[in-house]
Amino acid sequence: MVSEIRLFTESTFLEKAQSYQTVLSLRGVVVNIEVIEKLNARFLRLNPELALCVDEQGLSLCANGMRMQPDWKAEIPRLKRASLKSEMIARACHLSEKPKLVDATAGLGHDSLLMAYLGANIRLVERHPILFTLLEDAKAQAENDPFLGKVVARIDLIFSDSTVYLEQLIQDKQTVDVVYLDPMFPQRDQHQQAVKKQAQVKKQMQLLHMLLPEDGEMDLGDHLLVLAQHIAKRVVVKRPRLAVFLNDQPTHHQWQGDACRFDAYFNSNLIE
């Protein structure tokens, strides 16, 4: 996990950068601020290593000439088109019942934002201090947006390792309606008869992969499924359409889309 990182900013935004520096230091990340003349595409191309940037848009992650932040405002058009009937994730997570939901694989928070818009009350769990701070910044900006304000009020950000968090819920004998899992590095199906050419990873995901390497091993999330089944009425796992089951565990029900699917696991002991 990244324990030290550079932060680029212009003098105009130095105070804002220092506030992020303070927050991240409390979360175990040493941030070295570098004030530059102009934070633009050319500068980012000339400085390709992983770093943070601060400007009028807030905090972002940058590398290889690219920038990334959880831009929740950019999701507004998608939210306005969404409905309980049109979204497969809504059926899989039973969002019509306005469930209490734990998203244990936060990513950029876009799925949680959609689920909150459709009525879920969500605990969004993220362990990486930089990604958590990016999510925190995205939520703070969204709170001031007339459309998103009411949506993000249904999202609580939790700075914790998901394994630790779920284990604590088990120990405290707490239950939730849904645990949602979307592992960062989905396992490849080694038994496919043909290897299909995969589309290029989106820029945002490229930067996340640089930030979140698991010491060279893919974070498959198998153990999270086992833990989640102890405390959730249903566990929903988002998978590429042709991927193997998480933890090699056949699903109780499945919703299939063109590019992805949702596998659901029900706990009859918790369902009333």
Q: 103-144: per-residue pLDDT in tens?
A: 999 989 999 999 999 999 999 999 999 999 999 999 999 999
Q: What does R_g of the chain's alpha carbons equal in angstroms?
A: 19
Residue 97, marked binder:
no
Alpha-carbon distances, residue 110 vs 9, 22, 73, 87, 120 (angstroms): 26, 26, 10, 14, 13
pTM > 0.85: yes or no = yes
127 is in an annotated binding site: yes
Q: Which CATH superfamily is domain 72-266 in?
A: Vaccinia Virus protein VP39 (3.40.50.150)
Virtual torsion, Cα 35, 41, 47, 51, nearest 10 deg: 70
Domain ranges of the chain: 5-68, 72-266
Q: Pick the range with the lowest mean pLDDT from 46-60, 93-107, 216-230.
A: 216-230
Residue 56: both structure tokens together: 């009028």
Rounded Cα–Cα distance for residues 109 and 87 (Å): 16
Is residue 103 part of an annotated ligand binding site? no
The predicted-structure confidence for 149-183, as pLDDT tens digits, reads as follows 999 999 999 999 999 999 999 999 999 999 999 98
